[in-house]
A and B are shown apart, each in its own frame.
Chain A
Amino acid sequence: MTDLALSPPLSRPWGRLALRWLLFTLLGVFALFYLMPLFVMVTTSLKSLEEIRTGSLIAFPREVTFEAWKTAWSGACTGIQCEGLRPYFWNSVVLAIPAVLISTFVGAMNGYVIAQWRFRGANLIFSLLLFGCFIPFQVVLLPMARMLGILGLAGSIPGLIFVHVIYGIGFTTLFFRNYYVTIPSELVKAAKVDGAGFFRIFWSIFLPLSLPIVVVTVIWQFTQIWNDFLFGVSFSQAGTQPVTVALNNIVNSTTGVKEYNVDMAAAIIAALPTLIVYVVAGKYFIRGLTAGSVKG
């Protein structure tokens, strides 16, 4: 805590009170600003199209209906197919889980080596990896598209997993490296004297210590991969698209009547997994965000 509250002299209690009111009013207004879109999304998704046309944006639904959710999940059209979000939602699941696990594991091993088994050139490799986090991915889109073709992975889910792992390693390595450098190097020395080797030390000593950073990394990677659009739209084809791409297709599909309630339901469905992660493990989410940006 900063120990610093707006605290005018006690001789003017009314001044202090007014200031506190102003403070809470401001905080409340901002809270409304951030909550409003979510509120609008939820209420719109529960209204009928008729009510949307006649009612106000921020009104509660007069009659709650889950029709839009049903359509969004299994009937909405993404271009010519009309299967809803469901197949694409599962595409994202099938894609995110291995990509998150592999990139986290590789990052853990890399971080362990860079932080605890320094060798000549290790720092250079770390700098190279770190730079990789900052490139705009546009610069690798074209060659990657060709490379996936050469590898026979074009338009496939394994291809997308591969891409997410490659470009996720920089961040996962950074996370683990920054965590493992805080562990005294004497631990490795003691284990070496005890006769343990590289993998044994990782497995018996470092991995059991790593739960917090594993959680941070998994959440970070999951959010990144689930929310990704650029790789998804560039490297997938009909049938292998992730949920973000399908959502965009539903919203921008030009066939038929514009169903705003279905759009909103679909948006919430696409957002739900990361929102749940955020609500359940917000602390780790924030730690990942700040660790990814503050510590270089």
Chain B
Amino acid sequence: MTEWLERHVPKMVLAPSFVAVLIFVYGFIIWTAWVSLTRSRLLPKYEIEGFIQYERLFASPRWDTAMSNLVVFGVLFIVIAMVLGLLLAILLDQNIRTEGALRTIYLYPMALSMIVTGTAWKWIMNPGLGIENMVRGWGFENFSFDWIIDPDMAIYAVVIAGIWQSSGFVMALFLAGLRSVDGEIIKAAQVDGIPTWRIYSAIIIPSMAPIFLSAFIVLAHLAIKSFDLVIALTGGGPGYATDLPATYMYAMAFSRGDIGQAASSAMVMMAVVFAIVVPYLYSELRAKRD
């Protein structure tokens, strides 16, 4: 008996987590998928009716806005955060004596809640009293910066706050990557008389391809899940102008009482995440087995 126990203790320790993940992740995904195929409104129904919720979803102008916002926000957020992060990492990599302090400054937003970030930027971009007022106070009477209440520009205000929050993290990733490049290769290039910018562009940056991929995955993941930032900064408004899939889903689930729509929009979000993450995880796991 004790022999048997000894042999099976590791499995028994892992079992609760395994069961929890089976139920609360995979079981729940199946539940949501199931409900997304029903006519559920305020309460879930379990009779499958086909893809009507998805038809409603794709016919909804609000969802349409949310998806195009996701594209705009996602592309700008990922590209700018990556470029800025890489630039900061390279600048910091130049034997700066104050590197530690600067790194701390660039990265601290990552420790903040998105709600805090949203609150701060909402105030900064306040049309009456924020940056607009400040620049007008400097004598530029016609200066205007009211993105946050402009339905066409509000999503770019979200982009600014998002980049402020996350670019320092990309910098930390890239800096770690720059430091892990084989020093001998760089010395060899310097001996060969290759200029510094060529060393970066031809040797160091290409060798960091896996880090670019990691940064991309993390940022894409953040973009798709973005919810709190929008809620705090614009509340999804003006109107639905800054709605993202995450806020759409939340509105359907908890304020509109439209569970079918909430479930189908969540499934679309998951499909988008998996389209990005699954190939990455697959290649990671396979690379490890080799």
Contacts and interface: CB of A to CB of B under 8 A. Distances in A.
Chains A, B in direct contact (C-beta < 8 Å): yes
Interface of A: 1-7, 23, 26-27, 30-31, 33-38, 40-41, 44, 52-53, 56-58, 106, 109-110, 113-114, 117, 119, 122, 125, 127-132, 134-147, 166-167, 169-170, 173, 197-199, 223, 226-230, 233-234, 244, 247-248, 251-252, 260, 263-264, 266-268, 270-271, 274-275, 277-279, 282, 285-286, 289-290, 293-294, 296
Given A4-B199, A129-B17, A134-B221, A271 B116 contact: yes
Contacts of B6: 197-198
Contacts of A129: 17-18, 21
A229 B227 contact: yes
Interface of B: 6, 9-11, 13-14, 16-18, 20-22, 24-29, 31-32, 35, 44, 88, 91-96, 102, 104-117, 119-124, 126, 129-131, 133-134, 137, 164, 168-169, 172-173, 176, 178-179, 181, 183, 186-187, 190, 196, 199-200, 204, 211, 214-215, 217-218, 221, 224-225, 227-228, 231-232, 235, 245-246, 249-250, 253-254, 259, 262-263, 265-267, 269-270, 273-274, 277, 280-281, 284-285, 288
A23 B133 contact: no
A58 to B, nearest CB: 6
Contact of B196 (A6, A33, A266): A6
Tell which of B18, B126, B178, B246 has the most Cβ of chain A within 10 Å.
B18
A141 B266 contact: yes
A140 B25 contact: yes
A139 B115 contact: no
A223 B114 CA distance: 11
A37 B164 contact: yes
Contact of B14 (A122, A144, A146, A199): A122
Contact of B183 (A2, A30, A40, A169): A2
Given A109-B13, A198-B6, A270 B176 contact: no
Nearest to A234: B254
B180 to A, nearest CB: 9
A127 B273 CA distance: 16
B124 A57 contact: yes
Contacts, number: 288
Contacts of B217: 293
24 contacts: A27-B96, A34-B109, A35-B105, A56-B134, A106-B17, A113-B14, A128-B21, A129-B17, A135-B270, A138-B246, A142-B44, A142-B262, A143-B28, A145-B253, A147-B28, A166-B20, A173-B17, A197-B9, A247-B115, A248-B231, A260-B123, A264-B119, A267-B115, A282-B104
Give 5 nearest A-B pairs by CB, closest first. Answer: A227-B113, A296-B284, A278-B111, A117-B10, A229-B228
A35 to B, nearest CB: 6
Given A271-B113, A277-B111, A294-B173, 15 more contacts: A37-B121, A40-B120, A40-B124, A41-B120, A53-B129, A109-B13, A114-B14, A140-B32, A142-B259, A169-B21, A263-B123, A293-B214, A294-B176, A296-B280, A296-B284
A119 B14 CA distance: 11
A277 B112 CA distance: 11
A128 B18 contact: yes
A135 B273 contact: yes
Tell which of B24, B134, B211 has the most Cβ of chain A within 10 Å.
B24
B94 A6 contact: yes
A130 B288 CA distance: 14
A135 B199 contact: no
A296 B285 contact: yes
Contact of A140 (B28, B224, B245): B28
Contact of A275 (B108, B253, B262, B267): B108
Contacts of B21: 128-129, 132, 169-170
